[in-house]
Structure 1
Amino acid sequence: MPSDEKPYKYEPLPIPTYEEAVGSSSRASTASNNEANEAAVPAEREGLLSAGDDGRIPEPTRRQGYRPPASVEDYRESMDQQHDTFLNQDAEPRDSDSDDEEARVRREMDELDMEDEPRNSAQSAWGKRISSLSQSLHLPFRWRWKWRINLHVPEGMRERIRWPTIDANFCIILGRMFALLLVMGIVYLLFVSDIFTNAAQRMAGQMFDPESVRVHVQRVASAARIEEHMKVITKNDHLAGTEGDYVLAEYVEAAFAHAGLEEVRKDQFGVYLNFPKVGGRKVEILGKDGAVTWSAKIDEDPIYTDPPKQETPVFHGHSKSGDIKGPIIYANYGSREDYKRLYDSGIETKGAIALVRYYGSQGDRALKVKAAEDVGFIGCIIYSDPADDGFVKGEVAPKGRFMPEFGVQRGAVSLMSWVVGDVLTPGWASVEGAARIPKENNPGLVNIPSVPLSWGDAKFLLQALKGVGQAAPEEWKGGIPDVEYWIGDKSGPVVHLVNDQDEVEEQPIWNVMGKITGVEQKEKAVIVGNHRDAWVYGATDPGSGTAVMLEVVSIFGDLVSKGWRPLRSIEFASWDGEEYNLIGSTEYVEGDMERLRQDGFAYLNVDVAVGGTDFRAAGSPVFKKSLLRVLNRVSDPLKNATLRELWDKRESMLMGLGAGSDYVAFQDMAGTSSLDFGFEGPKFPYHSAFDNFEWMSEIGDPGFTYHQMLAQVWALLILEYADRLVMPFDIAAYSASLIAWAQDLQNYVENKGINSEGNPWSIEPLREAVLQFAVDARQFEKWEDEWDAIVLGGGGFESSILSAHRQSHNTRMANFETHLLDLEEGGGIPNRTQFKHVVFGPQLYSGYETSFFPFIRDAIEARDWELAQKQVIKTADIIKRASRKLVGN
């Protein structure tokens, strides 16, 4: 091997001049050169093997007696001689004149080359390379035959033969034109083959196998990371608009940014909020002389004492301030039916204070207060009875799931089924400078004061009613020990109720937003949301959802860092002010309404992520097929079954939407198909200070296994709607649901006595509309089968034209529910025009409950049959129009 210190050096070979190369006879030159070469070979071979002392290679020499191999020319000459001998055995040998003639012709050819040299000097480098290449080619065998045509040129025909020549510049131009045409042809083929118009747009997302992405998001979901987020989220109380809320907003914003989301920001709105004053809430029993005989504890005992932590006082959000006195009357669950029973029993309610319990036949606490106001009560107290949420049901917190004796359920009493969002800006965003209506006589607020109590406090009020008025019916009796449950009347004990609070009309709240931009339809968006604000620590509501969402954000941020992109954009949102009438999400929707109606493809909401171990979901029927597909992928390791198997075992169904969480503005106002989901259970210490990290880690979800499962479900659902080529909306399921809901509406009307009263009513227009939609839905879904056949039959190739049709198909599918909105001037449910969806929307007194065809049901509840028939026709017309637009008519 060559030495690194003395690399081989080669002497340049002497290049002969033109005259030396052509000036002598080839044969004589060849012979002399061969003799010289024979002498030089030995030294040359020595030089190839080793270098001299100075590192230089010795001059080439040859061994004595070395016989070089015959050259190609020697071989050809020998063959020519044999050939001539074979063909001209009788011919005479060539004389010297012939040799002279040959030499003269050679000199003339040399002169011809010299004369043509200037013309050929412009030969391109490419031509020289071709010539050099042709000269360097050597056959791997010796060709044994040679054809020679001997031309005998007569005397006098010695004229020089000039071959036609082509100007080199013309050749260059011609070559460049050919190259340009070749490039243009390739580019054309690329465009025709959809490389730029379609595939390149999806290149980032399609670099990854979709199934591999799904496997990845399930595999990387981390219970440990979720637990760490939960510790931070529940570290302090974070009521909307407070310092704790703002600090947590910054934490979420930092998590969004760390994950690599785009356009991360805090959106601020100025909204109406109320806050309790220290010592501003009282519930007292007064004696006949007006002296206080008993005072309610009201607030919960501190959960943390070493070190102590601030805990949100017990109060009702959006409650009415007041200082009132009146007799206490027990009214069961505070439903309109319960108040009617009081009236039918002859119990006077005007000027009295209602005592009602949570849950029951009226689940919405605001409507309990509103119904009390409507029948003349001047105040309302709501408590948690152990028969509904306490020791009667099972072990209480902190060791169990149910409310302890002095645990209190906080909550808002704003009328979200009447006005949703900031009650001072119904229908428009609460941005700086926005017009605001007064809070006095506001349709979204109750007009009597209210406070929540524990059953430990309510016990003394109920005991004070013993023997007053009428004994409560059996179904009105709760589970408080040592209480007989009497109703009371105007002669009963007088209660002093005080609700003194701070009321701020433009209190700042903060939504935190982040985004992943899609690569195919980047303007189309799948919105993912969870609210951040809590009444106290909020481990379950909403901390479990916030912690899971931050893990989902981390998962997708990791995918983006690896180069993945979805087909459609994904927008993540941490809403503020949800506990106060769904303010944050509603203000966002009202401020971006037109874009969401046009480009909002789906909204995926998680409020309580883990409140138990049973998966539940409510939403638009379009999610049915894809939801079940996702549940089939996720397993419950504690029950050794997939979530789909457990879902089927419980005979669960995709429920309809009420008005209980942040999906309301998306589904009912913007027409963006919405899904709300999570794990539920019997109960948890709802809206109390007992809903904290310790409770979640020890009782709610030890090991955070169900949090991890929900992260998988959420991430997979996002991929379904943001990254499938064809949106997996189940239009057939929507059609089947409409048929069932129309029949349910007819049953509802018949239960109201429509036939016996002879009122003008016909459901036929609605029935015809939903049946026509069923036909159109089947036609619409056939396109997907055709697309599958074309693309899969073509080896996965999708042309740009077919891609455009697919995107149009997706858009029409996603906009179907937008077309179910009543967008005429003044459109919407009469007197509640924020709600515009003719299929989904809360009834006037249904609150959290699921309701379908709210336009029609409100009119029926009001016994206005003429209006009800008009609403049937309007609803039918809107469904028909949406159906036609779905199929492109």
Structure 2
Amino acid sequence: MADEKPNKYEPVANAPIPSYEEATGSSSRTSTPADDRLRTTSEASHPAEREGLLGNDLGGRIPVPTRRQGYRPPPTEDSSSPRQSFEHDAFLGQENGRGSEEEEEVRREMEELEMEEPASQSIWGKRISSLSSRLPFRIRLPRWGSLRMPRIDTNFLIILARIFAIFLVVAVIYVLFVSDIFTNAANRMAGQMFDPESVRVYMQSMVDEERIRGRLEKITQTSHLAGTEGDYVLAEYVQGIFATSGLEGVHMDEYQVYLNYPKEGGRKIEILKDDGSVSWSARIEEDQAYTDRPRQQTPVFHGHSKSGDVTGPLMYANYGSRKDFKRFYDSGIETKGAIALVRYGGTQSDRALKVKAAEEVGFAGCIIYSDPADLKNVKQDEVQRGAVSLMSWVVGDVLTPGWASTKDAKRISKENNPGLVNIPSIPISWGDAQHLLRAIQGYGIIAPEEGGWIGGIPNVVYWSGNMSSPKVHLVNEQDEVEKQKIWNVMGKIEGIEQNEKSIIIGNHRDAWTFGASDPGSGTAVMLEVVHLFGDLVRRGWRPLRTIEFASWDGEEYNLIGSTEFVEDNIERLRKDAFVYMNVDVAVGGQDFMASGSPVFRKALLRVLDRTVDPIRNATLRALWDSRQGELEGLGAGSDYVAFQDIAGTSSLDFGFHGGKYEPRGEFALDGSNYAYHSVYDNFERMDMIGDPGFQYHKVLAQVWGLLILEFCDRLVLPFDMSAYASSMTKWVMDLEDWSGNKGANLPGNTPWSTEPLREAVLQLAQDARLFEKWEAEWDTVVLNSGGFESPVLAAHRKSHNTRMANFETHLLDMESGGGIPNRTQFKHVVFGPQLWSGYEEAFFPAIRDAVEARDWTLAKKQVDKTADIIMKASRKLVGNT
């Protein structure tokens, strides 16, 4: 072993080395039968091994037939196996008889083998090896050969490439889906299939006034007071239309709320003689509206009124405002324990606040009537029902203020409840009021002409009355149910781009009696709009954003149904509700009127421009401009309150009201003259007098449908942020003038200024202009690209829309304990009812409440807080948070 050379292939001096031709000559390939048997056995018994060797030595090349027939790899360097030596010798001497092509193939193989063999040792290496053989010890030096990379089979490379290609395709598809390109492509395809203008034309042309008329006739067949059997039957009817029209997720939301109902024979108003006997009793109830086929009519009463049995001298207090009651004090007339008689309307429009004002100055009970001076052509027995819950103090279920009235929700007591009055009240007709006013003639002071104290009841001289007036006995007994079930009916059409974002459409279903105008006209119109949108969906159309339709219950009792829905879904609404559109009375006159957040101005005028008044042959926009119409502010009169003032969802309320054009028959078409909350607000009156032919119903359905399309299907929401800034500027100026009349900055008062508000509104105006530039830039980019919107641009557009919609939400006072002081249910710093304004529009309610109370320190604090919230909302609008 010591004499063994380190390299077996070390060339030996003077060894006979064959030339290339000799090595590949035919003589070297002569094989013996033994060789052939060995070759055949090896190929037959070890195919896998053979293929493995070929793979290792030939770098993964695909074997060719000549190799299988006449090729064997050489032995490895350290091989001493006899079999391997034998195979090597046999390879050199085998004969396969394939001619020149075979020889050429083998030649190429050997050339490659030579290229792959280690290079010969250098002369220096040979000398070192020779020297080491002469030494008494042996020196082993490492062998230096070329480094060879491992060979990979071609089949494996192909498989690896295919796997890589699959992963690449999957990655590309994932990126496309994440980038939302398919959704945008689908939207563009839908836009091509349903041209937006064609959809708007369809919405206008397909409204069927006869279908509206037929549905109103069904809706008004029976009275349907909230929580009654008639109400539930109508809820099922509406639910059926929602379902058959193709709305998705149709269901009823049930809440359990506080309602009251009059007991039979439990209401009395009597004039007593000096001995306590009854000299006259009020009839209280209205005549039967249907004499040919009598129907059950809701009794005359006040919702949420106080039960009681009281007696006291009668006094007339005009409209029942606090100013009117102050006249008694100024005149030296005591009022404690008396019974107040007041008129609907006038300087205090909210009936509940009339009762509350009477309560605060000591009256024991309150009677409210409808005076002919205020309501044109009002019938002698006509009575206006209504609730006397304090909706500007607590809205919704008064037992669960601020949270939803679910079955197991906690409830507060109805005793000393901030949302309820504490003296009994009853509504009556002017026919009954005539007897009462005659009874007090000559008592107290004669009613002054200023302030509207003199009404229109014939054969009556209006006197105030005093503690010597004839006594009146008032009884109001009722069933009070703390967990009465009510039902909201809900349905929706899912959007295809931002289905989590909602356009909410609502109308209340419950009525005091038959409710043809209030709310039946709105319900019938909404059902027509539902039908049209359902038909569009059946044809393949889809909105970009989800449309939610709602039929509210319990609106007449303090806006309960809509408020409980908002409180039950408050986080979702603040995050994802873009707008709320409300129609209460769809047709109560001929003039189109709207109130709401200023963001609706641009879209509203665009819709009015393309809709035509059915009688005056002019667009609604032209008529709007001719009477200098404005988008008015919101008060606290309908189901928009919880959306606008609690959830911060931009809200709009609209319908046909007012107007004194085209008097028909007995009644002029007057906004105050649709027999409000009376049994005479029925289908026959609407069909013959209110809207013969139902043309105004048809136009309102067109307006409503077009407005929905504006906000559910335009790529960029048509919010008018500049209009909001402009309106707010006007409101700040009005606040300054109003507070000046209330004694602001008089000597001795805390210095007070609206300057922080002015600065905040000025910043909003600047930010609104900057914000609206983006839409113009978006238009340019999309138009220049042939209508194509890239995924990146689409993402920016969605963010732009969300910031617009969130602006209203950012105007909420969301700090702990935030909201209007002592009425923290109302969170909006710009919109909200004043403490004593009720239905009327009001701006900056927290500031106005403080000014009314002459608390100038609190007023200054509220100015600073409101200005700060407006400033922050403005910064968030443009992304400067």
* 1:624 alignment partner in structure 2: 601
Q: CA deviation at 1:468?
A: 1.4
For the pair 1:211 / 2:202, whether they are aligned, the reply is no
Do the aligned residues in 2 keep the contact of 1:597 with 1:818 (CA within 8 Å)? yes
For the pair 1:329 / 2:315, whether they are aligned, the reply is yes
For the pair 1:432 / 2:402, whether they are aligned, the reply is no
For the pair 1:657 / 2:634, whether they are aligned, the reply is yes
* 1:369 alignment partner in structure 2: 355
Paired residue for 1:599, among 555, 576, 592?
576
* 2:279 alignment partner in structure 1: 293
Q: Give, in whole Å, the separation in 1 of the partners of 2:704 and 2:628.
A: 22
Q: CA deviation at 1:563?
A: 1.1
Do the aligned residues in 2 keep the contact of 1:382 with 1:452 (CA within 8 Å)? yes
Deviations 1:684-724 (A, max 9, x none): 11000000000000001001101010111101111111111
How high is the TM-score relative to the length of structure 2?
0.79
Do the aligned residues in 2 keep the contact of 1:205 with 1:519 (CA within 8 Å)? no
For the pair 1:449 / 2:443, whether they are aligned, the reply is no
Deviations 1:742-794 (A, max 9, x none): 11111111111223334220211111111111111111111111111111111
Structure 1 residues 270 and 189: alpha-carbon distance in aligned structure 2, compared to 1, 3 A threshold: closer
Do the aligned residues in 2 keep the contact of 1:352 with 1:378 (CA within 8 Å)? yes
Deviations 1:788-831 (A, max 9, x none): 11111111111111111100010010010100000111111010
Structure 1 residues 773 and 171: alpha-carbon distance in aligned structure 2, compared to 1, 3 A threshold: closer
2:778 partner SS: helix
2:285 partner SS: coil
Q: CA deviation at 1:325?
A: 0.6
2:482 partner SS: strand
Q: Give, in whole Å, the separation in 2 of the partners of 1:550 and 1:870.
A: 47
Q: Give, in whole Å, the separation in 1 of the partners of 2:241 and 2:428.
A: 37
Paired residue for 1:747, among 725, 732, 737?
737
Do the aligned residues in 2 keep the contact of 1:202 with 1:567 (CA within 8 Å)? no
* 1:507 alignment partner in structure 2: 484
Q: CA deviation at 1:346?
A: 1.0
Among all aligned residue pairs of Structure 1 and Structure 2, give the percentage whose two residues are the same amino acid.
71
Q: Give, in whole Å, the separation in 2 of the partners of 1:188 and 1:470.
A: 85
Q: Give, in whole Å, the separation in 2 of the partners of 1:700 and 1:453.
A: 24
* 2:498 alignment partner in structure 1: 521
For the pair 1:783 / 2:783, whether they are aligned, the reply is no
* 1:461 alignment partner in structure 2: 436
Deviations 1:551-586 (A, max 9, x none): 000011011111111111110000000000000000
Q: How does 1:311-350 map to 2 (within 5 A)?
A: 311-350=297-336
Q: CA deviation at 1:470?
A: 1.2
Q: CA deviation at 1:181?
A: 9.9
Q: Which amino acid aligns with 1:427?
A: G
Paired residue for 1:531, among 508, 522, 541?
508
Deviations 1:249-297 (A, max 9, x none): 0000001001111111110100000001111111111111111110101
Do the aligned residues in 1 keep the contact of 2:614 with 2:696 (CA within 8 Å)? no
Q: Which amino acid aligns with 2:810?
A: H
Q: Which amino acid aligns with 1:699?
A: I
2:547 partner SS: strand
Q: CA deviation at 1:649?
A: 1.1
Q: Give, in whole Å, the separation in 2 of the partners of 1:171 and 1:666.
A: 64
Q: Which amino acid aligns with 1:436?
A: R
* 2:530 alignment partner in structure 1: 553
Structure 1 residues 205 and 586: alpha-carbon distance in aligned structure 2, compared to 1, 3 A threshold: farther
Q: How does 1:92-171 map to 2 (within 5 A)?
A: none
> Unpaired runs of 5+ in structure 1?
1-117, 120-156, 397-402
Do the aligned residues in 1 keep the contact of 2:555 with 2:561 (CA within 8 Å)? yes
Structure 1 residues 289 and 639: alpha-carbon distance in aligned structure 2, compared to 1, 3 A threshold: same
Paired residue for 1:709, among 688, 699, 704?
699
Do the aligned residues in 2 keep the contact of 1:329 with 1:352 (CA within 8 Å)? yes
Q: Give, in whole Å, the separation in 2 of the partners of 1:414 and 1:719.
A: 36
Q: CA deviation at 1:204?
A: 4.6
Deviations 1:188-221 (A, max 9, x none): 9967996425323665566311111111111111
Do the aligned residues in 2 keep the contact of 1:205 with 1:565 (CA within 8 Å)? no
Q: CA deviation at 1:626?
A: 0.4
Deviations 1:162-211 (A, max 9, x none): 999xx999999799799969977995996799642532366556631111
Do the aligned residues in 2 keep the contact of 1:194 with 1:799 (CA within 8 Å)? no
For the pair 1:772 / 2:763, whether they are aligned, the reply is yes
Structure 1 residues 662 and 188: alpha-carbon distance in aligned structure 2, compared to 1, 3 A threshold: closer
Structure 1 residues 162 and 701: alpha-carbon distance in aligned structure 2, compared to 1, 3 A threshold: farther
For the pair 1:260 / 2:252, whether they are aligned, the reply is no
For the pair 1:736 / 2:726, whether they are aligned, the reply is yes
* 1:33 alignment partner in structure 2: none
Structure 1 residues 185 and 596: alpha-carbon distance in aligned structure 2, compared to 1, 3 A threshold: closer
Q: Which amino acid aligns with 2:194?
A: F
2:267 partner SS: strand
Q: Give, in whole Å, the separation in 2 of the partners of 1:826 and 1:168.
A: 74
Q: Which amino acid aligns with 2:856?
A: W
Q: Give, in whole Å, the separation in 2 of the partners of 1:460 and 1:768.
A: 57
* 1:842 alignment partner in structure 2: 833
For the pair 1:887 / 2:862, whether they are aligned, the reply is no
Paired residue for 2:644, among 653, 667, 692?
667
1:387 partner SS: coil
2:758 partner SS: helix
For the pair 1:696 / 2:686, whether they are aligned, the reply is yes
Q: Give, in whole Å, the separation in 2 of the partners of 1:823 and 1:185.
A: 44
Q: How does 1:149-298 map to 2 (within 5 A)?
A: 195-200=181-186, 203-204=189-190, 207-298=193-284
2:746 partner SS: helix
Paired residue for 1:824, among 815, 824, 829?
815
Q: Give, in whole Å, the separation in 1 of the partners of 2:687 and 2:832.
A: 36
Q: Give, in whole Å, the separation in 1 of the partners of 2:168 and 2:832.
A: 62
Q: Which amino acid aligns with 1:566?
A: P
Paired residue for 1:853, among 841, 844, 848?
844
For the pair 1:872 / 2:863, whether they are aligned, the reply is yes
1:211 partner SS: helix
For the pair 1:833 / 2:819, whether they are aligned, the reply is no
For the pair 1:416 / 2:384, whether they are aligned, the reply is no
1:627 partner SS: helix
How high is the TM-score relative to the length of structure 1?
0.79
> Unpaired runs of 5+ in structure 2?
1-63, 66-98, 109-152, 659-669
Q: CA deviation at 1:637?
A: 2.9
Paired residue for 2:470, among 493, 504, 517?
493
